[in-house]
Amino acid sequence: MNKWKRVGMTMLSLLLAGTLAACGQQQSSGGTNESAASDEVLNKIKETKTLVAGTDATFQPFEYKNAQNEYEGFDIDLIRAVAAELGAEKVEFVDTEFKGLIPGLQGKKFDIIVSAMYITDERKKTIDFSDSYYPGGLAIMVKKDNNTIKGIDDLKGKKVSVQIGTKSVSFLKENYPDIQLVEVEKNVEMFLELESGRVDAVVTGGPAAKVYAKNNGTVKVLDEPLTKEEYGYGIRKENQAFREAVNKALQTLKENGKYQEIVEKWFGE
């Protein structure tokens, strides 16, 4: 093989390698776009301009129904803002008992869980979560005139109201088996059990408990929290592009100040 023939073949090889690399980059980029394009939730939002959210609307100030049977709360306002960032013009809420939210999501009754749900390792076995959108943690609520219960150790042998399917149930069963749990279906039932004297205390999410105590006046929340958790939106494992879009929307709302406005409206922080 002469000199010029070798040079020509070398240049041809370099050209071919560059072409293959460019094709590979295009395929890789196209794969990312294809992932987003094939996400059923994002496609549905694009087509219907609607995000469907499952919520247990009994947990003030996160989600509840007002006197006009309209959805209100911190979660309600925040997910509407998130949905707008995703291109949705409205959010359709599906009122569901808390214990039925994860099965409902898996059964595609709605696209996302918006219901003050803690991000836990146990729940991550079946669903994924967005990034945290608010700090939480379990707390103890007692009657305002109760001076004998000052902490979790004082609940031994006492009746404590908890909501079925929540972290309160698993936490107390695993760590404090001597406590008598009174499990109820709806969040408001816990507080009614306490106010009527049928239980000695309530264990529930701290932020909501503090707002309820402030508005009620007959109960109080003990200062020392039992746990530290984070609230997140429940999302099906196959909808990773949707999850990334939700996280991006949350970040945008925090950067433009809208998130803080909603926080201050509902928690006064």
- Tell me the DSSP string of 46-72: HHHSEEEEEE--EETTTEEE-TTS-EE
Sorting pLDDT into bands at 50, 70 and 90, what band is 121?
very high
Residues in CB range of 240: below 8 A, 6 or more apart: 35, 39, 128
What is the arithmetic mean of pLDDT over 247-268? 96
Beta strand segments in 144-229, E = 159-163, 180-184, 201-205, 219-221
Tell me the average pLDDT across 220-238: 95
Q: Please give the average per-residue pLDDT across 28-51, as a whole number.
A: 75
The residue assigned the tokens 């950067």 is 255
So what's the pLDDT on residue 37? 58
- Band of residue 4 on the pLDDT scale cut at 50, 70, 90: very low
Asked whether residue 31 carries a pLDDT value surpassing 60, the answer given is: no
Residue 86: pLDDT band (50, 70, 90) is very high
Tell which CATH classification among 3.50.50.60, 3.40.190.10, 3.30.230.70, 3.40.50.10190 matches the domain 138-221.
3.40.190.10
Of 126-130, 168-172, 205-209, 239-243, which range is least confident?
205-209
Indicate if the pLDDT at residue 5 is higher than 90: no
Other C-beta atoms lying within 10 Å of the C-beta of residue 58: 20
- Per-residue pLDDT band for 38 (boundaries 50, 70, 90) equals confident
Q: Residues 236, 47: contact at Cβ < 8 Å?
A: no
pLDDT of residue 11: 47
Give exposure, 66-98, as e/b (b: 16+ Cβ within 10 Å). eeeeebbbbbbbbbbbbbbbbebeebebbebeb
Confidence of residue 85 (pLDDT cuts 50, 70, 90): very high
Give yes or no for a contact between 203 and 172, defined as CB atoms under 8 angstroms apart: yes
Partnered with residue 94 across adjacent β-strands are: 54
243 pLDDT higher than 60: yes
At residue 124, does pLDDT exceed 70? yes
Q: What percent of the chain has pLDDT over 90?
A: 78
CA of residue 179 relative to chain centroid, distance: 28
Whole-number pLDDT of residue 29: 38
Residues 186-196 pLDDT 10s: 888 999 999 99
* CATH superfamily, domain at 40-135+230-267: Periplasmic binding protein-like II (3.40.190.10)
Confidence of residue 217 (pLDDT cuts 50, 70, 90): confident
pTM to 2 decimals? 0.77
Mean pLDDT across the chain: 88
